[in-house]
Structure 1
């Protein structure tokens, strides 16, 4: 990759200008028809007349036995998948065509100087000549891509990739932050993992009594590993990464301070058979549940919002020997729980 410093500063400003004027690539998501398997393809979108495109392809499983896809989990801590990144975009001829199309505007529009600087940078040898056509087949032009959802929400991180379109030779790894590598692909796949609802089985179900332990559990078939593979296969570059999420624990939040949890931390770890907790059965009424809640006060005319959150341990593997851990993810849902006072009746003898 060639970089520009010192006396090239003016040309770099022009390059930055063309980055804003050229199409801004993003990604798109294919709709899941409802099955437990889904493909998410790199796609084209239209925004203000410009074609937006990412060449990354996503494939994976929604996980869970029901085939439901509820949403992406939340990373633990302040980490987040990249909101923008760089990937190979154009051959020299394609870039030349895109350049000429996007800059086919009158200089009176106020961008004439930026246009001239960009031409010097990419076309007239300062430092590139004729869009590097003499290097055709030896590399590609790379450009920035933004996550469409985070761009639409105004997330500043989506606008952090402001490096101008740059040339990368085949087999070379760009030093620009967030340029696509197996690890970046793994992080992008992390953001596209979808996990099922976290509705635990309760006994008693929905309606319980004050000071009566409520058992909570998840069957081993309810939650399974979830994985998404992100791949990029462009001339001179073929890389991929698979990000896998494994359920490891269930955390119960009773929705009120007037309750105790079992265990006291509220976190029920995965059993050896991949189940969580223990199903209630006749004869266990006097026992303490390994995973559950005891409410100490009635919910009155309303309900408590029991929140059940699954923690997922996330790892990844990629092209070559690459691999490692990514931050845990959490995803939870709420259930309405009615807690009633135990009524007693005194009879005269």
Structure 2
């Protein structure tokens, strides 16, 4: 019975601390934040700390908008990274409290011996580096909150490590302005692609349907990702550059033939229809060649957003373009003959 009570106590303690989101539950006892002492399965449960990165969005927001899709095949923001997280005194306070709870619950000394040696007894760190409290920080692994279930989120497996102020962490996946730019790209949300059309009701077989976006319909969207207290920041800016039309059927032609309508100098796309333009070919539009019968064709309008970034220390550059698509259902009727 005592053994059962001790096991239940450890299980409850593990569940309580894990529920606080402070560190992962491990198979072999409690370790320092963001690491495991024993990996009996050969796989880490991964970092459990939440990143301190802050995200700020500026630009038009609508309830019908959504995140952009990268046009670059294979590109994605980092699934995990290392970032400065603890001052030395805070790291010591947390871990010693955790170890005390572990021991009070009946944990065996060997369950925390390795981690105590690493961070407290000089192998390689002495007393959690408290003597250097204001000279650096403990860096830990964190997961991208948008990619927690991605297998790549388990690739940051280093135990917490110390980095002096102003020093390069010297490890792959250490957070920098480019990392922050990728996170800002991932959090970019744009308004829906609401196109104007003429005719606005039913389109007619072989007659062009004009498509356009008015000037000012879309404004640049900026997203800033920053890490408080470090001076690290990056801001991405997304600007619309073109509209791609997919008529939703092979029995149609796009205007122009590529289906790509470029943005005009004034920020508009295409050209509004007006009386007297009925015999003209629109610079942006579609021509349906077959009736949709009792149904409709799904005209997909995909707006491409060009994304650039700038960050601390004069960093910056281009990121993969992003797209956001909206579908409009278009009924298409046969040409109406006139009986004389």
TM-score in terms of structure 1 length? 0.80
The structure with the larger Rg is 2
Query: How much does 1:206 deviate?
Result: 4.1
Q: Which runs of 4+ in 1 moved over 4 A?
A: 18-23, 106-114
CA contact (8 A) 1:305 1:334 kept: yes
CA distance, structure 2, for counterparts of residue 124 and residue 314 of structure 1: 49
In 2, Cα distance between equivalents of 1:302 and 1:334? 15
How many Å separate the matches in 2 of 1:97 and 1:298?
73
The answer as to whether partners of 1:22 and 1:98 remain within 8 angstroms in 2 is: no
Find the residue that maps to 1:97 and give its secondary structure.
Answer: helix
* Inter-CA distance 110–285: structure 2 relative to 1 (3 Å threshold): farther
- Unmatched 5+ stretches in structure 2: 1-30, 39-43
SS in 2 for 1:260: strand
- What is residue 17 of structure 1 aligned with on the other side? 36
Matched, 1:55 2:52: yes
| Structure 1 position 62, deviation (Å) | 3.4
Q: Aligned match of 1:79 in 75, 78, 83?
A: 75
Query: Structure 1 residue 178: deviation in Å?
Result: 2.5
How high is the TM-score relative to the length of structure 2? 0.82
Q: Distance in 1 between matches of 2:207 and 2:109?
A: 77
Query: 1:149 aligns to what SS in structure 2?
Result: coil
Query: Aligned pair 1:332/2:328, yes or no?
Result: no
- Flag structure 1 segments of 5+ consecutive residues without an equivalent: 1-12, 27-53
Per-residue displacement from partner, 1:5-63 (whole Å, max 9, x unpaired)?
A: xxxxxxxx98841596897123xxxxxxxxxxxxxxxxxxxxxxxxxxx3222212133
Task: Indicate the residue corresponding to 1:142 in structure 2.
Answer: 139
| Alpha-carbon distance in 2 for matches of 1:260, 1:230 | 42
Please state how far the C-alpha of 1:101 moved relative to its aligned partner. 3.7
**Does residue 274 of structure 2 align to residue 278 of structure 1?**
no
- Does residue 162 (structure 1) correspond to residue 157 (structure 2)? The answer is yes
Aligned equivalent of 1:196, options 182, 191, 214: 191
2:289 aligned partner: 296
SS in structure 1 of the partner of residue 189 of structure 2? coil
Compute the RMSD of aligned alpha carbons.
2.5
How many residues in Structure 1 have an aligned counterpart in Structure 2?
302
**Aligned pair partner of 1:216 in 201, 208, 211:** 211
The 1:21/1:205 distance shift into structure 2, 3 A limit, reads closer
CA distance 1:313–1:23, shift in 2 (3 Å): closer
In 1, Cα distance between equivalents of 2:46 and 2:258: 53
Q: Which residue of 2 aligns with 1:120?
A: 117
